[in-house]
Amino acid sequence: MGLFENKVVIVTGGAMGIGRDTALAFGHEDASVVIADVNREASDAVVMAIEGAGGVARSIAADVSRSEHCRRVVSETANSFGGVDVLFNNVGIQPISFYTDVVGTSEEMWDHIVAVNLRSVFLMAKYAIPRMRRRGGGVIINNASVQGLQSMRKVPAYAASKGAVLSLTRAMALDHALDNIRVVAICPGTIDTAMVRTAAAALGSDIEETLTTWGAMHPLGRIGKGKDVAEAVLFLASDRASFITGSFLCVDGGFMAQGAWARGPGASASK
């Protein structure tokens, strides 16, 4: 008997990276997993992996920045499995071509990033919460970022969207606490995903060397893995976290624990 037996879980952006590893982890714990992603081929591959291990899953091709797609994902999930218990709002983008300041950010760039990273959280919750009420409660976990807490240069839309995710998390937690719906967020540090590797490749140097350098900036001396985040998500989604709502968990190897002064003379970036 797995930790999430008889539970129905939706993972947005579940075809790759953190979403994929989390979908697989939920499947391993006997949840019925729905993967909502624009990449149907990759989503189907995750479904096959879950089913191959004896689990239950299905994929739904969807652009969760669009209202009609979010409504359909929730409706098809409920029709297939009887309801919705857990929503992991994981999907997020920061395209390499969009690294610029506000002057260089077009309205189209801004709208696209905010739609995927923030509007999707609002829309998926909007349609999932009524289904959770019918089940007597549920859990919504939003994937924010350490960049929702502090930031770096050239990511104004991304940083704004992630900061807003944290604020929305608090608001939804208050609004739906009496529905027995918990709403929490995670703030990953640098995680070994395709998006991070693409960013590393854009620097023009060896990718593994760049990832090692980035890892050295984290007190634990490495970048994270998708499974590190997945374990945190499963904990927050479980009854073991039944008194946690309206807050966030940093999954960042200690990155947010250090101040800018930690990079001064004599400071060490790793253990």
Q: Which run of H or E residues covers position 184? A: strand 181-188
Note whether 55 and 47 are within 8 A (CB): no
> Which residue is catalytic, options 158, 214, 248, 255?
158
Cβ-Cβ contacts under 8 Å for 181 (sequence gap 6 or more): 129, 132, 133, 137, 138, 139, 140
* Chain length of the chain: 271
Separation in Å, CA 212 to CA 206, 209, 265, 269: 10, 5, 21, 11
Question: What is the C-alpha to C-alpha distance for residues 271 and 254, in angstroms, rounded to an integer?
Answer: 11
Note whether 5 and 30 are within 8 A (CB): yes
Question: What is the C-alpha to C-alpha distance for residues 35 and 80, in angstroms, rounded to an integer?
Answer: 13
CB atoms within 10 A of CB 189: 24
Active site residue 158: yes
Note whether 215 and 254 are within 8 A (CB): no
Point out the residues that are catalytic. 158
